Structures are given as C-alpha cells and as structure tokens.
C-alpha cells in the first residue's frame, strides 16, 4: 500500500510544507524491514528513509530511458509547474483550455477559484503530487487522471 498524506489546511490558506518532499506510507514485509534495519545498524545507511530514498533513486536511474521516452511520447512536463490565477485568467481571456500533464509537482495557486479552475483546465494528469486548495481539487476531480 502506498498512501500520500495531505496535511489539513485552513480555508483560504496554502499548506505549510516542511521541504520539497511528500510524505508517503508503505507496507513492507518483516524480512525486508529486517534487512533494512540490519544495513542501518551496520552503518551502510543513516536510517530507513536514507535506504528507501537511495533505492528509489537507483531504480529511477536504472529505468531512466523508459522515463525519457514516456515523457517525450506523452508530452509531459518534467519537474515543478505552478499555475497562478493570472495564468488561468489569461487562458480564459484567450478562450483556451489547458491540458496539464506533469511528472513531478503541479501546483495551482490558492487564490484560484474553483470556477476559474473548471473554466480553464480541461484535464489534469499528474504523476507525483498536486498542490491545490481542497475546493479546486474537488472542482477538478472529474478531470483528474
């Protein structure tokens, strides 16, 4: 099981972030966890998190070509992409709707209303994390892939 935890947010406020990371929860078998703890106790890794981050980086590097091809094929923006209220108002003024595809972090400013988001975002495909107000996330829920 992999679970992304979104911290509670006061209405109209952006969530507080403790860095450029997202907290996840995973379930591991006892033997796998024991192997990790052994490597930590032997000083190979500083802690469990260090081991897991290293393992993830090794696997993403190992499959970098697959990622590169998929990003090019699917026209996905890689990294961080922030949409401001002005960005969306400009799109609405031009009569355009956005098809947002991001691998990494997509964020929609907290001053964007649900109505503006629905009027300007036709689809939203995020591999990674989406930061937006709960109201905007709810307004776009039928457009999330």
pLDDT value, residue 1: 39
- Helix axis angle, 48-62 to 64-74, nearest 10°: 70
pLDDT value, residue 19: 54
pLDDT value, residue 75: 83
pLDDT value, residue 39: 96
Using CA atoms in the order 107, 129, 73, 64, what is the torsion angle rounded to 10 degrees? 130
For residue 11, CA distances in Å to 6, 19, 91, 109, 110 come to 14, 21, 26, 13, 10
Segments of the chain scoring below 50 in pLDDT: 1-13, 15-18
């Amino acid at each position: 099981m992999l679970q992304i935890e979104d911290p509670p947010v006061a209405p109209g406020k952006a969530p507080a972030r403790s860095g450029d990371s997202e907290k996840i929860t995973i379930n591991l078998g006892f033997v796998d966890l024991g192997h990790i703890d052994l490597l930590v106790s032997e000083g190979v890794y500083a802690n469990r998190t260090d081991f897991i981050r290293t393992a993830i980086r090794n696997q993403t590097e190992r499959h970098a070509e697959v990622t590169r091809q998929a990003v090019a094929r699917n026209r996905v923006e890689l990294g961080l992409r922030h949409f401001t209220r002005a960005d969306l108002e400009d799109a609405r003024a031009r009569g355009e709707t956005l098809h947002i595809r991001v691998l990494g972090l997509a964020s929609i400013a907290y001053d964007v209303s649900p109505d503006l988001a629905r009027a300007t975002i036709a689809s939203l495909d995020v591999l990674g994390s989406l930061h937006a107000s709960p109201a905007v996330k709810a307004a776009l829920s039928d457009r999330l892939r």
